[in-house]
Chain A
Amino acid sequence: GNSVTQMEGPVTLSEEAFLTINCTYTATGYPSLFWYVQYPGEGLQLLLKATKADDKGSNKGFEATYRKETTSFHLEKGSVQVSDSAVYFCALSGGAQKLVFGQGTRLTINP
């Protein structure tokens, strides 16, 4: 079946550091891939998405490229801010429009 694996957290960085959160997936067919962000006490917000191989999703300085050959969709940001502290979820769109989520990666940015 479809599955998503994220790097285990928590991840703690200093402000302005470079961020990478790894995400790999297993899927039949050609799913769309997503990154969602969850701020404390809130629901999920769509951060970015990519619908086909080699597509790059980007938003708020975050980027992720759909790599079919490595079945990956790693999230990157060149310079993180304290306000980026949140839990990040990688997800893929499986059958019947269902989303399959990774376990989430908690990110803390220290000033």
Chain B
Amino acid sequence: GAVVSQHPSWVICKSGTSVKIECRSLDFQATTMFWYRQFPKQSLMLMATSNEGSKATYEQGVEKDKFLINHASLTLSTLTVTSAHPEDSSFYICSAQDAPEEETQYFGPGTRLLVL
């Protein structure tokens, strides 16, 4: 149980285009989803917290107009990198919780983005 998927697993795009990444909880309903960014050989940096049906809460320094997050249902959250640039190239990972009081997060396999 507690499986989280991400799609696509990797994507290459041209500078200036937008890229959408999907995060799905496959066997549970996720009240809260999180989006992280991971640079090579570094730890995870929390970008935003997403609750179903409400606006995402962004961490300090993360541009909300650059990284659009939508959590339209209890099993799906999307991250759209708008007008991507090479510095946006990174490994993006989502996670989900199955209950508000549950502290454990279940992570997706990640999406590697390369912007040329």
Q: Which residues does A use to contact B, with CB under 8 Å?
A: 32, 34, 36, 41-46, 49, 51, 89, 93, 96-99, 101-104, 106
Contacts and interface: CB of A to CB of B under 8 A. Distances in A.
A43 B110 contact: yes
Size class of B's contact patch? 20 to 34
Contacts of B32: 97
A104 B43 contact: yes
B34 to A, nearest CB: 8
Q: Which 7 A-B pairs have the closest CB atoms?
A: A44-B107, A93-B103, A43-B107, A43-B110, A43-B109, A101-B43, A103-B43
B22 to A, nearest CB: 14
Q: Which of A36, A96, A98 has the most CB of B within 10 A?
A: A98
Given A43-B93, A44-B93, 16 more contacts: A42-B110, A43-B4, A43-B6, A43-B109, A44-B95, A44-B107, A46-B105, A46-B106, A89-B44, A93-B103, A96-B49, A97-B103, A99-B95, A101-B43, A103-B43, A106-B41
